[in-house]
């Protein structure tokens, strides 16, 4: 997109937002989108790939039922454990280098996982992987948002989240092409068989190295540098953006001095105790000025992740159950809870299923001898869902400036809640799948919530605010993925009522959320 605004050759002083607007929107911004979007895709790959690795790795690692349950959620636990710390590091030391460090180290941990013969070490390394990739997840929204003005920021952050769908397509796509293979190679030095699932782990780790190389080309966030008092570096970056985006000469950029828009929070003493600094940064989020919006943003993240992750992890099992029930009755006679009631599960068997949900396997296989055969039928379904979510992110990115973030939040939350409730009470196999698929589009609201979070906080605490809210989101994902199984197989008639109540709370939080712009400095521009 070419920048068409007329630019005066007379240089002057500008607020950061104005200087950023004058730098244009074009090739430079597209590269930022690709690099940061790739970063977010890597986060999804590293945190969700275990759902496809576990079925093929269970025999080689001799995984017990409880170990499988731990492995499903251990990555999210790692993310929650360190999100707060990485948010602090990003606000204190900068965005770019922390993201690169996290991507490279998490990738190296995954590579080591591919040659680990012991289950206990594999579990420990997956926790470390989550703890490291958490940094990229916490910081990427702030980094991308600070390169864009108010006009483009919401759209870019929504498009950035479309790379989540790219990750959701990449995971089953690669699994589909690698896991069905039957080859193996004995590594005597390590005492293991190198089989397709180990190669798949390596392939899942490679995008992080590629994206870290892409990020290394970019400079640090210009807004962060300006907040640190590095005016000349900020001006140099925005001038380069102007040249790349507009094709004009550097001397034509009409800005000589840049002033930060927002009123800066008190800068932390770099010589102070690190824990004291983290506490002060966090306490700022809950002071009189930010407390209410912080609580609401945290619940929005919690609620969206709760509803999105809970059903998505169980959806393949639901498909399995519905298809089995459809073989006994006509497709038109299939109901969601009818299919569940047709398969009574004892408490002990349910506990096995609770630990086995990431396996996406038939209930009847749970008590059999270890079987690492991979059913590829679920891959196509997951690929289609990922494509639909990606398309929704793009549509939201186009509409977000026209409709507004709050209206999109309220509209999507209400629509998905209604579709879920109707799916619970309607008959018809295909209809239920379509309605459940529409419900799963709730995950596309993650981008909208993060766009709000980036807008509502100043540069000095922005990364911390996003990190804390995402930590609440990951908590919602962990709780949702574990609790929903209990509700679904014990009290099926309540499952979408549970989701609907959560969506009502999301709507209330969205309506109450203050969206008043940050306080800005008043200044007279030099003529």
Could you report the per-residue pLDDT of 302-323, keeping only the tens digit for each? 998 888 877 776 776 677 677 7
Q: Identify any residues that bridge with 193 across adjacent strands, giving them in sequence order.
A: 186
Flag whether 279 is in a domain.
Answer: no
Residues near 218 by beta carbon (within 8 Å), at least 6 away in sequence: 31, 32, 35, 96
Q: Under a CB-based contact definition with an 8 Å cutoff, are residues 195 and 72 in contact?
A: no
Lowest mean pLDDT among 18-32, 33-47, 204-218, 464-478: 464-478
Q: Identify any residues that bridge with 152 across adjacent strands, giving them in sequence order.
A: none
**Alpha carbon separation from 67 to 354, 355, 398, 465 (Å, rounded):** 12, 8, 43, 33
Rounded Cα gap, residues 41 and 57, in angstroms: 23
- In DSSP notation, 148-160 reads S-TTTHHHHHHHH
Q: What are the backbone angles phi and psi of residue 320, rounded to the nearest 5°?
A: -60, -45
Maximum average pLDDT range among 78-92, 427-441, 494-508 = 494-508
| H-helix or E-strand spanning residue 134 | helix 119-145
pTM recorded for the entire structure: 0.73
Flag whether 318 is in a domain.
Answer: yes
Flag whether 192 is in a domain.
Answer: yes
508 pLDDT more than 90: yes
Lowest mean pLDDT among 5-14, 36-45, 232-241, 317-326: 5-14
526 pLDDT more than 50: no
Q: Identify any residues that bridge with 259 across adjacent strands, giving them in sequence order.
A: 15
Flag whether 353 is in a domain.
Answer: yes
Flag whether 321 is in a domain.
Answer: yes
351 pLDDT more than 90: no
Q: Under a CB-based contact definition with an 8 Å cutoff, are residues 19 and 258 in contact?
A: yes
**Alpha carbon separation from 341 to 168, 296, 334, 437 (Å, rounded):** 31, 38, 12, 22
Number of domains in the chain: 1
Flag whether 3 is in a domain.
Answer: no
Rounded Cα gap, residues 28 and 206, in angstroms: 24
Rounded Cα gap, residues 214 and 217, in angstroms: 6
What pLDDT sits at residue 444?
Answer: 81
Rounded Cα gap, residues 227 and 266, in angstroms: 11
Tell me: the pLDDT tens digits for 119-155? 889 989 999 999 999 888 878 888 888 888 878 887 8
365 pLDDT more than 70: no
Flag whether 525 is in a domain.
Answer: no
Lowest mean pLDDT among 16-20, 73-77, 214-218: 73-77
Rounded Cα gap, residues 425 and 497, in angstroms: 11
Tell me: the pLDDT tens digits for 96-105? 999 999 999 9
Tell me: the pLDDT tens digits for 486-497? 677 677 778 888
What integer best gives the mean pLDDT of the chain?
79
Q: Under a CB-based contact definition with an 8 Å cutoff, are residues 366 and 353 in contact?
A: yes
Maximum average pLDDT range among 185-189, 244-248, 452-456 = 244-248
Helix axes 377-403, 429-439, angle to 10 degrees: 50
What pLDDT sits at residue 450?
Answer: 78
Residues near 299 by beta carbon (within 8 Å), at least 6 away in sequence: 472, 505, 506, 509
Question: Any idea what the CATH number is for the domain that residue 130 is in?
Answer: 1.20.1250.20
Token code pair at residue 95:
């965005």
Average pLDDT over residues 261-284: 59
Flag whether 469 is in a domain.
Answer: yes
What's the pLDDT band for 259 if we cut at 50, 70, 90?
confident
Lowest mean pLDDT among 107-116, 151-160, 201-210: 151-160
What pLDDT sits at residue 35?
Answer: 94
* Residue 418 DSSP SS3: helix
**Count of beta carbons in the 10 Å neighbourhood of residue 374:** 22
Residue 441 is part of which domain span? 12-265+284-512
Token code pair at residue 172:
């089953």
523 pLDDT more than 60: no
Q: Give the burial class of 327: count Cβ atoms within 10 A of its Cβ; 0-12 exposed, 13-18 middle, 19 or more buried.
A: exposed
What pLDDT sits at residue 273?
Answer: 54
What pLDDT sits at residue 492?
Answer: 78
What pLDDT sits at residue 66?
Answer: 67
423 pLDDT more than 90: no
């Amino acid at each position: 997109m070419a920048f068409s605004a007329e630019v005066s050759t007379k240089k002057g002083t500008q607020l950061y937002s104005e200087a950023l607007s004058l730098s244009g929107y074009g090739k430079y911004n597209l590269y930022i989108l690709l690099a940061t979007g790739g970063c977010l895709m890597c986060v999804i790959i590293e945190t969700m790939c275990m759902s496809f690795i576990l079925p093929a790795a269970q025999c080689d690692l001799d995984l017990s039922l409880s170990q499988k349950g731990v492995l499903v959620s251990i990555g999210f636990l790692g993310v929650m454990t360190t999100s707060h710390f990485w948010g602090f590091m990003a606000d204190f030391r900068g965005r770019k280098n922390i993201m690169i460090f996290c991507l490279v180290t998490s990738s190296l941990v995954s590579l080591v996982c591919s040659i680990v013969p012991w289950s206990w070490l594999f579990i420990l390394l997956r926790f470390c992987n989550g703890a490291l990739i958490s940094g990229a997840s916490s910081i990427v929204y702030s980094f991308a948002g600070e390169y864009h003005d108010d006009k483009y920021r919401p759209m870019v952050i929504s498009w950035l989240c479309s790379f989540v769908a790219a990750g959701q397509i990449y995971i089953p796509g690669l699994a589909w092409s690698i896991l069905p293979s039957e080859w193996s190679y004995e590594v005597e030095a390590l005492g293991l068989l190198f089989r397709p699932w180990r190669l798949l782990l390596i392939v899942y780790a490679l995008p992080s190295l590629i994206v870290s190389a892409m990020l290394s080309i970019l400079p640090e966030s210009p807004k962060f540098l300006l907040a640190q008092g590095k005016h000349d570096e900020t001006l140099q970056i925005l001038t380069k953006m102007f040249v790349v985006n507009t094709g004009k000469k550097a001397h034509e950029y009409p800005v000589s001095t840049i002033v930060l828009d927002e009123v800066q929070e008190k800068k932390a003493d770099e010589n102070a105790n690190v824990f004291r600094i983290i506490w002060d940064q966090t306490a700022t989020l809950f002071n009189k000025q930010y407390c209410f919006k912080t609580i609401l943003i945290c619940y929005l993240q919690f609620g969206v992740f709760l509803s999105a992750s809970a059903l998505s992890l169980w959806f393949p099992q639901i498909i399995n159950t519905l298809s089995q029930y459809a073989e006994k009755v006509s497709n038109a006679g299939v109901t969601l809870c009818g299919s569940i009631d047709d398969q009574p599960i004892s408490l002990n068997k349910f506990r096995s299923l609770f630990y086995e949900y990431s396996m996406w396997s038939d209930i009847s296989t749970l008590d059999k001898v270890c079987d690492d055969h991979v059913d590829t039928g679920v891959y196509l379904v997951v690929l289609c869902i990922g494509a639909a979510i990606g398309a929704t992110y793009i549509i939201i990115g186009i509409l977000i400036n026209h409709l507004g973030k709050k209206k999109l939040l309220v509209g999507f939350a209400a629509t998905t809640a209604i579709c879920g409730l109707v799916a619970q009470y309607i008959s018809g196999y295909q209809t239920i799948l379509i309605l459940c698929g529409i419900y799963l589009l709730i995950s596309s609201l993650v981008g909208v919530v993060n766009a709000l979070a980036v807008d509502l906080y100043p540069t000095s605490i922005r990364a911390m605010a996003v990190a804390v809210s995402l930590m609440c989101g990951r908590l919602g994902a962990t709780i949702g993925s574990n609790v929903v199984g209990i509700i679904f197989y014990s009290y099926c008639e309540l499952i979408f009522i549970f989701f609907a109540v959560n969506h009502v709370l999301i709507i209330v939080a969205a309506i109450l959320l203050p969206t008043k712009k940050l306080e800005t400095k008043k200044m007279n521009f030099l003529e």
